[in-house]
Amino acid sequence: MKIDKRALALFYIKNEVYLIAFCKVLTFLSSLYLTYNFVDLLFKLINKNADSSYLTLFILRSLFALIVYYLAMFFDNKISHEIAKKVRNLLRTEIYNKIEKLSLNYTEAVSTSSLLVMNSSSIVSIELYFNKFIPQIFATALIVISSLVIYGFISIWLAVAMLILYPLIPLSIMIIIKKSKKANKKTFTDFLSLSEVFFDRLQGFTVAKIYGKEANVSREVDKLSLNYRQSTMQLLKHQLNSINVMDAITYLSIFIMSIIAILTLDNPIFIIFVIVASFECFKPLRAMGGLFHISMKASVELENIYKLLDYKEDEKDKNIRLAPGYDININNVDFAYDNKKKILKNINMTFRKSEKIALVGESGSGKSTLIKLLLGLKRVQKGFVKYADYNLADVDFKELAKIITLITSDSYLNADTIRNHLAVNENISEDEMFEVLEKVNLKDLVLENGGLDYKLAEGASNLSGGQRQRLLAAKAILKNSYIYILDESVSNIDDYSKKSVLAAFDSISKDKIILIISHDLEVTKDCDKIYVLKDGKILEEGAHIELINKNNLYANLSKEQTSLKNKFLAREVE
């Protein structure tokens, strides 16, 4: 198995790896020395040759060996901890920096659930790979050489036997690699698939309940869970078989070494020493075999991280400067991911100042893709998406963020005070903060809890879902952007909070562009214009009443949602 040189260079841990290997060799040698010391004492006692000077020397030698042994163990653990800390911090920093560069486009490189896996279980496996497996490889090589030299001094036959027996475990590992590699990759792929679906369905479970589709969600998760269980059991089968094979080789090798020692050596001290020491000599190879499965898992997970780190970032023009007040023009746009099936087809839209626009449509209709185009995260294959004669895909995201604010259903609030959350720039006064809190109907709640210094828990868990969205709306309004995109930001919250957020944005809609994306047509009915998307095309456009009177897709969706909501409410009452 190849050592990951890229990661070794990235983490700057070569010296630490060599030091751990050296500590392991010292542990091995001191253990052998203690073994010989005790065997020698045993025969001295049997032959009644153990005088006081010998016993004193024995105690001193044993103490020296024990001190070396425990010091080596101590520094082994200490340096291992330092490697784990360095790997963990550097890897998370690299991932964070890459995500920051990719911005909201990071989901093209990696899913959110996969990102969570990278920063948790993957890092644990990778830590073990670098602070246990890699040092064990170097240590094992040095221990093999040391063993051959020591046994060579005792008997050439022992050295020859060891030279033949030592490669058997590495050879068994090489055979296992071919069988286990696919199993490891499949298990990890199944785990990612399960985590992605579980994460996605958990976020949309309320919507699924509204539409009566919760049974479908449950079946899908159950199916993927079964796949993951089956692939995990298959991997465990490989691991258990390999452990049995390595144990068999280890004990057979020790048995052979013992027989050779008995047949070729005259000195009983050396015979007993070889029998006992052989356990120590083969232990490092056995340990490397045990760590091999961790290394296989870590290699697969490192590949997944490298895919993210190597993802090519789109080139942006950092000289473009945007000013508020212009329209957004989407003209004859076609778009496809990786030049495959078209997601958007001949899209024409104009978002004007002082307008509130809505994008509606079933899942897969192209709404999310349109948001990515508006945020400059993707380039179109045909047509253009322009603001003030600039293609949005050419504009640096930091510049776009000066005029565009995106609010989603899962926007995060960290543990901090209300004051610090609302201080989007240093010029925001307390009066302005209370004014916007009043707009979103949070002023009374804040005052009841000590004012602007009210501390939120991590993820604002001490607020309800609706209160969190109202606070996010307050932050966005204080930012005073020209364009606001509300991507399902009022989905799955209580009606009072929903109305509060929408009313707050209505109050600032003059001289702004407000774009609302929602599956809930109740949210969009007051918009100046509604675009109805289906299969990547604009099927209808117009105001709510106009679209209802057309009695087409929008009207059907409205009737269906009203019916489903009524059924859901009836079930809740029951």
Task: For residues 36 and 538, give the distance between their C-alpha atoms in angstroms, rounded to a whole number.
Answer: 85
Last residue of a domain, one of 280, 309, 338: 309
Shared domain for 364 and 482, answered yes or no, is yes
Task: For residues 282 and 162, give the distance between their C-alpha atoms in angstroms, rounded to a whole number.
Answer: 10
Confidence at residue 381, expressed as pLDDT on a 0 to 100 scale: 86
Angle at 130 between CA 124 and CA 133, to 5 degrees: 100
Residue 76 class from Cβ within 10 Å (0-12 exposed, 13-18 middle, 19+ buried)? buried
Domain tally for the chain?
A: 2
Confidence at residue 99, expressed as pLDDT on a 0 to 100 scale: 84
Shared domain for 350 and 252, answered yes or no, is no
Pairing of strands 342-351, 328-336: antiparallel
Residue-wise pLDDT tens for the chain (574 aa)? 556 667 666 777 888 989 999 999 999 999 999 999 998 889 888 888 878 888 999 999 999 999 999 999 999 999 999 998 888 888 888 888 888 888 777 777 777 777 777 777 788 888 888 888 889 889 988 998 998 999 888 989 998 998 888 888 778 777 776 666 677 777 777 777 767 666 666 655 555 555 555 566 667 777 777 877 877 787 777 777 777 888 888 889 889 989 999 998 888 998 998 898 888 888 888 888 778 777 777 887 888 888 888 888 778 888 999 999 999 999 999 998 877 788 899 999 999 999 999 999 877 788 888 998 998 888 888 999 999 889 998 988 888 889 999 988 877 888 889 999 899 888 889 999 999 999 999 999 999 988 999 898 888 888 888 899 999 999 999 999 999 999 888 877 888 889 999 999 999 988 899 999 988 888 888 899 999 998 889 999 999 999 999 888 889 888 888 787 777 666 655 5
Q: Which residues pair with 542 in a beta bridge?
A: 530
Shared domain for 114 and 256, answered yes or no, is yes
Confidence at residue 296, expressed as pLDDT on a 0 to 100 scale: 78
Helices (H), 47-122: 52-102, 106-109, 112-117
Shared domain for 391 and 363, answered yes or no, is yes
Confidence at residue 109, expressed as pLDDT on a 0 to 100 scale: 76
Shared domain for 363 and 243, answered yes or no, is no
Q: Which residues lie below 8 Å from residue 139, measured CB to CB, with a gap of 6+?
A: 20, 21, 22, 24, 25, 28, 284
Confidence at residue 74, expressed as pLDDT on a 0 to 100 scale: 95
Percentage helix, strand, coil for the chain under 3-state DSSP, each rounded to 5: 70, 10, 20
Shared domain for 124 and 65, answered yes or no, is yes
Shared domain for 256 and 365, answered yes or no, is no
Confidence at residue 569, expressed as pLDDT on a 0 to 100 scale: 61
How many other CB atoms are there within 10 angstroms of residue 180's CB atom? Answer: 22
Task: For residues 475 and 423, give the distance between their C-alpha atoms in angstroms, rounded to a whole number.
Answer: 8
Three-state DSSP at 552 gives coil
- The pTM for the full model equals 0.67
Angle at 14 between CA 74 and CA 84, to 5 degrees: 55
Shared domain for 282 and 254, answered yes or no, is yes
385 within 8 A of 334, measured Cβ to Cβ: no
Confidence at residue 477, expressed as pLDDT on a 0 to 100 scale: 92
In a domain, 522, yes or no: yes
Radius of gyration for the chain, computed over Cα atoms and rounded to the nearest angstrom = 34
In a domain, 71, yes or no: yes
Shared domain for 238 and 345, answered yes or no, is no
Shared domain for 298 and 250, answered yes or no, is yes
Confidence at residue 556, expressed as pLDDT on a 0 to 100 scale: 87
Helix axes 156-165, 214-264, angle to 10 degrees: 160
Confidence at residue 22, expressed as pLDDT on a 0 to 100 scale: 94
In a domain, 37, yes or no: yes
In a domain, 315, yes or no: no
Shared domain for 332 and 305, answered yes or no, is no
The encoded tokens of residue 381 equal 């294959």
Angle at 162 between CA 161 and CA 164, to 5 degrees: 65
Q: Which residues lie below 8 Å from residue 364, measured CB to CB, with a gap of 6+?
A: 535
32 within 8 A of 277, measured Cβ to Cβ: yes
Region at 494 (left for phi over 0; alpha for psi -120 to 50; beta for the rest): beta
Shared domain for 410 and 494, answered yes or no, is yes
Task: For residues 527 and 352, give the distance between their C-alpha atoms in angstroms, rounded to a whole number.
Answer: 13
- Residue count of the chain: 574
184 within 8 A of 296, measured Cβ to Cβ: yes
380 within 8 A of 334, measured Cβ to Cβ: yes
Pairing of strands 529-534, 355-361: parallel
Last residue of a domain, one of 250, 277, 309: 309
Q: Name the residue range of residue 108's domain.
A: 5-309
Task: For residues 171 and 159, give the distance between their C-alpha atoms in angstroms, rounded to a whole number.
Answer: 19
Q: Which residues pair with 96 in a beta bridge?
A: none
Confidence at residue 530, expressed as pLDDT on a 0 to 100 scale: 93
Angle at 46 between CA 43 and CA 47, to 5 degrees: 85
Q: Which of 241, 504, 266, 483 is nearest to 355 (CA)?
A: 483
The encoded tokens of residue 340 equal 């495959």
Confidence at residue 492, expressed as pLDDT on a 0 to 100 scale: 75
CATH of residue 522's domain is 3.40.50.300
Confidence at residue 166, expressed as pLDDT on a 0 to 100 scale: 84
Q: What is the DSSP string of 293-325?
A: HHHHHHHHHHHHHHHHHTPPPPP-BTT----SS
Residue-wise burial string across 241-270, b where 16 or more C-beta atoms lie within 10 A, e elsewhere: ebeebbeebbeebbeebbebbeebbeeeeb
CATH of residue 94's domain is 1.20.1560.10
Q: What is the DSSP string of 113-127?
A: HHHHHIIIIIHHHHH
Confidence at residue 572, expressed as pLDDT on a 0 to 100 scale: 54
In a domain, 394, yes or no: yes
Q: Which of 382, 320, 392 is nearest to 351 (CA)?
A: 392
In a domain, 473, yes or no: yes
Last residue of a domain, one of 258, 276, 309: 309
Confidence at residue 204, expressed as pLDDT on a 0 to 100 scale: 58
In a domain, 260, yes or no: yes
Q: What is the DSSP string of 239-276?
A: HHHHHHHHHHHHHHHHHHHHHHHHHH---HHHHHHHHH
In a domain, 314, yes or no: no
How many other CB atoms are there within 10 angstroms of residue 209's CB atom? Answer: 16
